[in-house]
Amino acid sequence: MNARDDSKGGTVRAGYVRPLDIRNGRIDMSHGAGGRAAAQLVDEIFLAAFDNPWLRQGDDGAALVMPAGHTLVMATDAHVISPLFFPGGDIGCLSVHGTVNDVAMMGAVPLWLSASFILEEGFSLADLQRIVQSMAAAAREAGVAVVTGDTKVVEKGKGDGVFISTTGVGAVPPGVRVSGAQARPGDVILLSGPVGDHGVAVLSQRESLEFETTIVSDTAALNGLVAAMLEVCPGVRALRDPTRGGLATTLNEIARQSGVGMLIDEAAIPVRPEVDAACELLGLDPLYVANEGKLVAIVPAAAADAVLAAMRAHPRGREAVRIGVVQEDPHRFVQMATRFGGRRVVDWLAGEQLPRIC
C-alpha cells in the first residue's frame, strides 16, 4: 500500500506492508510477477528463514571467497518428490540434503547453496513456509548457507505444488581426490547403513498405496560423516550416495566408471525388517530402492578397518558395514553371493522398478 495522505480517516503508516496471511493464503500469479507481492513473499518467507549476510546484501548474486588452495566443486539437483511431506522429512530438507551430499561425495566441504523454487498457483503459503523452514534448518545443521535464489510461479495444473532446484558449491582440501573412476581391484566396498528406508517411507504415503509403516526416510546430510572418513583416510577412492536406483545402480555406476567388477555379499547388506517386508509385499528389490542419507565408499583394503571404525563412531554411520570387494572384470559386472549360496548379477535398473504381478 502506498503511503499517502488520506483525508477520509484512518492512519497510513509510511512503509507499512500488511503481512502475508500465511495461515490461509495461497500462491497466486502475482507472486511470480516480480512486483511488490513477489518481493514480499521473498522477504517474509525466504529471507526470514535463510537470513545470512549474502542475502541481506540484496544483490542479484552472491560474491563468495574460496579458501586458498582448495578445488571448487559444484553440484546441482532438482527435486520433484510426491508427496511433498513424508515420514522423516519433506521436499525442503531433502533438497538441501541431496545437493549437500552430492558435493560431499566429491570429497568437498559443502559451503554454499542456491535454491530456486517453481511454485504452482494455489499452493498453500503455510505449506511453503513449512518447507522453507525445513530447508533452513537442514542447511544450518549441515553448516551451509543458502546465498542466492529465485522464485517462479506457474499456472494451476502446470506444476505439482512445488519443485525445488538447488545447486551447491564446496571446497576440496588439497591432497584429497575422490572420484567414482578410481576403484581398483582389491579395494573394499563399505556401506554406511541399512538400505531402502527413504523409498519405502515415500511409497507408503502414495495415494492408492497407502500402508502403515514405522519406517521413516533416512534423509540426512552426510558431509560430517565424509569429513570423519577423510580424516582417517584422505586416500578414500570413491564416495557416492545411493539415491534413485538404489545401491545396485550406484555400484554399477562406479564399476562402469572405473572399469572394474565387484563382488558383494548379500548377507552383509543391512535391510531393516520393515523395509524388507514392504518390498516383499510390493514386489520390489530393496537393492534398487532409493536412499537419501546413506553412502557407499570404495577404500584401499589397508585402510578399510580404520575407515569403517571412523564411520561407526559417527552418528550417520553407526550401522556401517563392509559389503564386498572390487575385482578385475572386463565386463564390469556387479556380482552378488546370495544368502542362499548361489551367485548372481546385480544389474542396472531397467526402466522404472515395477512391481511383479505374481
Partner 1 sequence: MKYIDEFRDGDIARRIAERLQAEVDPSRQYGFMEFCGGHTHAISRYGVNDLLPANVRMIHGPGCPVCVLPIGRIDMAIRLALDHGAIVCTYGDTLRVPASGGLSLMRAKARGGDIRMVYSAADALTVARDNPQREVVFFAIGFETTTPPTALAILRAQREGLNNFSVLCCHVLTPAAITHILESPEVSRYGTVPLDGFVGPAHVSIVIGSAPYEPFAAAYRKPVVIAGFEPLDVMQAVLMLVRQVNEGRAEVENEFTRAVDRQGNAGAQHKMAQVFAMRPAFEWRGLGEVPHSALCMRPEFAQFDAERRFDIGYSAVADNKACECGAILRGVKKPTDCRIFGTVCTPENPVGSCMVSSEGACAAHYAYGRFKDIPVRASA
Footprint on this chain of partner 1 (rule: CB under 8 A): 185-186, 208-209, 261, 263, 267, 273, 276-277, 280, 282-283, 325, 327-331, 333, 335, 338-345, 347, 350-351, 354-358
CA-CA distances (angstroms) from residue 142 to 136, 166, 221? 10, 14, 6
CA-CA distances (angstroms) from residue 234 to 173, 189, 220? 10, 16, 23
Provide the minimum distance between the beta carbon of 201 and partner 1 in the complex, in angstroms, as a whole number: 18
Q: Are 172 and 106 spatial neighbours (Cβ–Cβ below 8 Å)? A: yes
Q: What share of the chain is helix, strand, coil (3-state, %, to 5)?
A: 35, 20, 45
Nearest to 320 by CA among 336, 299, 338: 299
Count CB neighbours of 46 within 10 A: 22
What backbone torsions phi and psi does residue 116 show, to the nearest 5 degrees? Answer: -125, 145
Map residue 322 onto helix, strand or coil.
strand
Q: Are 49 and 135 spatial neighbours (Cβ–Cβ below 8 Å)? A: yes
For 317, the grid coordinates are 554411520
